[in-house]
Amino acid sequence: MDSVSSVRDSLPEQHRKHFETLRQEIIDFATAHGIPRDILAKPDTLTEAAKKLSTPDLTQLATLLERFEYLLVHHEPKKEDYTEALEHAERLYHLKEQYDSQVELLAEVGILENGAITGIDGKEYLIPTLEQIASRLFERREELSTKHDQGFTKLLLVPFGMSLDTLVETLKQFLLDHKKSNPSFDLDTNKPLWTKWEEDYQGVDTGDSPKLVYYPQSFTEEGHQGRTKAQILKEQAEGRWTPTSVGVAGESGTGTPGWTIHLLQPSDPTDPHSLGFASIPQQGQGKPQGEKISRPPLEAGQSSDEYLSILQKAQDDPDLPYSHESGMTPEDWIIAFMTHLTETKKPLDDVWNHTNTEKTSYLAGTFFPSSVLVPCAFWNCLGRYAGFGRSVPHNRGWNVGARFSVMV
């Protein structure tokens, strides 16, 4: 771990970023487990310190060190055999086509630069690779088989570590660019994005006391158990993030800090090739999906408290239809919106559409504890803008619902 710059510079240029990533993962792991940084280069002392680790932690450390050593000796990353995982992911999810499409969009809108994003902590986070995603899908194939049967086949790569301010500005520019390329798209170019109580959405995920928390267990000011983005990034780096630890590191130890990987239902859940994402159905209009465990759709008309309760009940029971699902965040919705509009040429959650087939979406994966409000998002065809609002947790509306995802 010494002479970092000289060792890094001895590697081919295309592998230097991989070197930095592996090195930082090892340092973060050591810090999280109380291993002094100076003994990482002392095998005997490190071996003694590692004896105190649990078996999973010891396996993770061994994997990281093995990969780092291979890189230094062979001047290239260790090649893993992903054949079976890739074949599985391609057969069930048509993963490569979806992955390439997502990467292309993220690069086009300026989110992805040189294969990475910059997080709120100033660190660079590499985009998850096709092989990493395939490995996770393969490792979890048994529990995900039910979700696949329920129509969760649509990939969404979310640059969670970026600031929400940056993503909001990206969405604004995306809408303006889409208007230029599609003149018939009805957009208020003076205000393509609207937020209620706009000052409360600015800087909500950054600073010493961020206003927004993620994956709360309740929508209450005290005891919500939500985490800030900074806390989640730290836990991602240490391989211990909840609510779903497999969203950080699979059994092979391939973590993807700074990113979240999701599966959602496409516009037609019975057709994995269908473009865009499924709408939130109005009350009484949804069609259950799944033969193994039938999943009634999340219909509009319930409160965000009620949607969160659905998630909580399913957390510990794999036989419930909403098992392994999570509420969405503003970051998720922004990427989903851009993907949906790109693929279908129609806005996601077009709540005022005359067909009444679209709804505002509660973003039940986030919460404003100080104001006790839950974020929501929509497209307003009357005002011709995308919008973010907030709602009290017990509020119900015929035109408001929720969309869940499966995190992998």
What mean pLDDT is predicted for residues 73-77? Answer: 81
| More reliable by pLDDT, 78 or 131 | 131
For residue 197, what pLDDT is reported? 57
What mean pLDDT is predicted for residues 30-50? Answer: 81
What mean pLDDT is predicted for residues 40-62? Answer: 80
Best-predicted range by mean pLDDT (48-62, 133-147, 153-167)? 153-167
> Residue 71 pLDDT more than 70?
yes
For residue 310, what pLDDT is reported? 94
For residue 246, what pLDDT is reported? 41
- The contacts of residue 74 (CB under 8 Å, 6+ apart) are none
Q: What is the pLDDT of residues 334-348, one digit of tens each?
A: 999 999 999 999 999
Task: Return phi, psi of residue 305, to 5°.
Answer: -60, -45
| More reliable by pLDDT, 399 or 60 | 399
Local confidence band at 300 (pLDDT 50, 70, 90 cut-offs): very high
Local confidence band at 15 (pLDDT 50, 70, 90 cut-offs): confident
Long-range contacts of 96-104 (CB under 8 A, 24+ apart): 96/130, 98/154, 98/155, 99/130, 99/133, 99/155, 99/157, 102/155, 102/156, 102/157, 102/339, 103/127, 103/157
For residue 316, what pLDDT is reported? 74
Q: Find, among 104, 103, 101, 111, the residue nearest to 173 by Cα.
A: 111
Number of residues written out for the chain: 408
Mean pLDDT of the chain: 89
Minimum mean pLDDT range among 26-35, 140-149, 221-230: 26-35
Taken in order 264, 270, 273, 279, is the CA torsion positive or negative? negative
Inter-CA distances, 328 with 57, 158, 215, 401, Å:
30, 11, 9, 12
For residue 192, what pLDDT is reported? 96
Long-range contacts of 235-241 (CB under 8 A, 24+ apart): 237/24, 237/25, 237/28, 237/32, 238/28, 238/29, 238/32, 239/29, 239/60, 240/32
- The contacts of residue 207 (CB under 8 Å, 6+ apart) are none
Task: Return phi, psi of residue 350, to 5°.
Answer: -80, 80
| More reliable by pLDDT, 44 or 376 | 376
Do 360 and 381 form a contact (C-beta atoms < 8 A)?
Answer: no
| Three-state DSSP class for residue 66 | helix
- The contacts of residue 200 (CB under 8 Å, 6+ apart) are 211, 368, 371, 390
Q: What is the pLDDT of residues 230-272, one digit of tens each?
A: 999 988 887 776 554 343 433 334 468 999 999 999 999 999 8
> Residue 205 pLDDT more than 60?
yes
> Residue 289 pLDDT more than 80?
yes
> Residue 218 pLDDT more than 50?
yes
> Residue 214 pLDDT more than 80?
yes
Local confidence band at 360 (pLDDT 50, 70, 90 cut-offs): very high
Q: What is the pLDDT of residues 367-407, one digit of tens each?
A: 999 999 999 999 999 999 999 999 999 999 999 999 999 99
| DSSP label at residue 128 | P
Do 336 and 348 form a contact (C-beta atoms < 8 A)?
Answer: yes
No. of helices (H) and no. of strands (E), the chain: 12, 13
What mean pLDDT is predicted for residues 1-16? Answer: 76
Q: What is the pLDDT of residues 302-345, one digit of tens each?
A: 999 999 999 999 987 888 999 999 999 999 999 999 999 999 99
Which two structure tokens, joined as six digits, stand for 93? 């999810």
> Residue 88 pLDDT more than 80?
yes
Q: What percent of the chain has pLDDT over 90?
A: 63
| DSSP label at residue 386 | E
| More reliable by pLDDT, 37 or 225 | 225
Between CA 36 and CA 45, with CA 39 as vertex, the angle to 5 degrees is: 115
Local confidence band at 26 (pLDDT 50, 70, 90 cut-offs): confident
What mean pLDDT is predicted for residues 357-376? Answer: 94
What mean pLDDT is predicted for residues 173-193? Answer: 97
